[in-house]
Amino acid sequence: MQRVGNPTEERRFNIDLLRAEENIDGLIAALGSEDGLIRQRAALALGDFGDAKAVAPLIRALGDPLTAVREAAADSLAMLGPPAVGPLVELIELPGASERYEEPGAVESAKTVTGPGGLSWEIATRRDLRRVYAAAILGEIGDPSAVEPLVMALRDENNDVRCQAAGALAKFGRGAVEPLTTVLADPDPDVRIVAAGVLGDIGDASAVEPLIGALHDANDDVRGAAAGALIRMGDAAVERLIAATKDADRHVRLYAAGALKYIGDPRAIDALQDLTRDEDPDVRSVAEDALEKIRMVRGEIAPEPSAPTSR
């Protein structure tokens, strides 16, 4: 049986024709189609022309029920670049700004949708979905003006916004290091943990000193996050970690020894040998483990044989 459609509607939403004619208004109208594939293709096409007129409709599409449409809109916003930065930053700074992108009379429903990172949200939270996508897109665009708002978003009430902001900041590299180091003094330990983790992801040597400082943190999880970040720094952190093995704070000595163990640089051997005589038994134990690992890697000692297994 042949399907009878609306010829006018079909011509209006002929995406190939609209793209060929560079008909921005037609493509924007196609974002309102009931056909999800049409909406997806229209969203993708709007990224090709660099027209700022497409920014608001594409931001509206970040709340679409279909993941494919949201992803297409996000890709196109990243391609549009500078014209999209201001509105996306506003979404991060002002959660209520997402309201203006809602269709008049839009009715929420209880459908579950999948968003960035494979996480699921109820469709009723599409306003938050826009903010989550906004953080991720700002990382793709890489405009320096987005760094401070993304750093502020590490304190956002929405956990998914915080996670996407952290991932976005890592893409800014050295440009995000200084703002992130100020966050290492934030009153909220969870924020300090995230900041330390992002600094480790960036891996810039300028973050070593602030992360060494974070080994003094009163919160054990923050100290652990700082140590983990220093481990990822590798060679760039070794000399400063060696110096930290002589710190008066046992926590600093403990985490420095642990980081040196995982980095495995033989330059740390003398300092670790000194720590094997430390007054703190935990520090001594970690230092001994670190020495054993480094020497094993260097072939100075043979690894212990595996225990026999029975069939």
**Average pLDDT of the residues of the chain:** 87
By the 8 A CB rule, do 97 and 161 touch?
Answer: no
Pick from 36, 31, 32, 38: nearest CA to 16: 38
pLDDT (mean) for 250-259: 95
Residue 191 pLDDT exceeds 80: yes
Paired strand residues for 113: 121
**CA atoms 249, 254, 255, 259: torsion sign:** positive
By the 8 A CB rule, do 97 and 149 touch?
Answer: no
Residue 5 pLDDT exceeds 90: no
Kindly indicate the confidence band of residue 95, based on its pLDDT and cuts at 50, 70 and 90.
Answer: confident
The first and second tokens of residue 38, run together, are 């049409």
**CA atoms 296, 299, 300, 304: torsion sign:** positive
Residue 62 pLDDT exceeds 80: yes
pLDDT (mean) for 233-239: 94
The first and second tokens of residue 146, run together, are 């987005």
Name the pTM for this structure: 0.80
> What CA–CA distances, in Å, run from 216 to 13, 25, 276, 311?
61, 57, 21, 50
- How many Å apart are CA 284 and CA 248, to the nearest integer? 15
Higher pLDDT, 219 or 307: 219
pLDDT (mean) for 93-103: 86
Find the range with the poorest average confidence among 4-8, 147-151, 210-214, 232-236: 4-8
Residue 93 pLDDT exceeds 90: yes
Kindly indicate the confidence band of residue 104, based on its pLDDT and cuts at 50, 70 and 90.
Answer: low
Strand, coil or helix: what is 6? coil
pLDDT attached to residue 2: 37
Residue 69 neighbours by CB distance under 10 Å: 23
- Using a pLDDT cut of 90, give the percent of the chain over it: 75
Compute the C-alpha angle 6/9/13, nearest 5°.
Answer: 140
- How many Å apart are CA 69 and CA 30, to the nearest integer? 12
Residue 40 pLDDT exceeds 50: yes
By the 8 A CB rule, do 128 and 63 touch?
Answer: no
- Using a pLDDT cut of 70, give the percent of the chain over it: 84
By the 8 A CB rule, do 244 and 285 touch?
Answer: no
Query: Which class is domain 19-103+110-154?
Result: mainly alpha
